[in-house]
Amino acid sequence: MKAKHIVGISVIIAIMITITIFSAQTATESDALSKGIVKQVAVGLGIMTEEEANSTHYSTIKQWDHYLRKATHFTIYFILGFITFMVLYAMIQKKAVALIVAWLIATVFAIFDEYHQTFVDGRGGQVSDVILDSAGALTAVVLGTLLIGVFRKNKGE
């Protein structure tokens, strides 16, 4: 196994550990973190004042927080799927196999991650999150497949 493969696998494992750490946060911790980010963005962009973000616009913050959480699910699994696909492709040089295996790795990890959340105080696993995570990974591996096709065509392969 080449050094670049080991580095790639290490990055995949690091992403999975990061996801697991965030999933291990209690509902209170997770809620405070994501709502805090939404508030900072809303205030930083001048959409509302800090006072408004902390009180009168709570329902807006809560709604934006929901969208942030869902976008984060899609994005982190997009990243996991894309990197997993690229590492697998570099190792085996078969797009179809790399696509399927990378998508399965990300999807199975999403299932285990949501299951893990059922043991965390105030959290629960959601099938809708697994679907969103899987869609992010699928989008990434399809994009990776298309990019490889374009680069190979441009190189004349």
Domain ranges within the chain, ordered by starting residue: 3-154
For residue 32, the tally of other CB atoms under 10 A from its CB is 12
In this prediction, residue 156 carries a pLDDT of 67
In this prediction, residue 53 carries a pLDDT of 81
Percentage of the chain with pLDDT > 90? 65
Confidence band, pLDDT 50/70/90 cuts, at residue 77: very high
Is 70 exceeded by the pLDDT of residue 8? yes
41 vs 131, higher pLDDT: 131
For residue 23, the tally of other CB atoms under 10 A from its CB is 19
Q: Which residue has the tokens 């963005």?
A: 41
Distance between first and last Cα of the chain: 25
Is 80 exceeded by the pLDDT of residue 154? no
Q: Which two tokens stand for residue 115?
A: 């299951």
**What is the pTM assigned to this prediction?**
0.88
What is the residue-averaged pLDDT of the chain? 92
Q: Which residue has the tokens 């179809």?
A: 96
Confidence band, pLDDT 50/70/90 cuts, at residue 157: low
Is 80 exceeded by the pLDDT of residue 155? no
How long, in residues, is the chain?
A: 157
Cβ 71 vs Cβ 131: under 8 Å: no
Helix axes 3-23, 95-117, angle to 10 degrees: 30
Confidence band, pLDDT 50/70/90 cuts, at residue 84: very high
Query: Span 118-123, mean pLDDT?
Result: 92
98 vs 60, higher pLDDT: 98
Q: Which two tokens stand for residue 86?
A: 């690229």
Q: Could you give the 3-state DSSP secondary structure of residue 46?
A: coil
Give me the amino acid identity at 53: A
**CA 67/CA 91 separation, integer angstroms:** 36
In this prediction, residue 56 carries a pLDDT of 62
In this prediction, residue 57 carries a pLDDT of 65
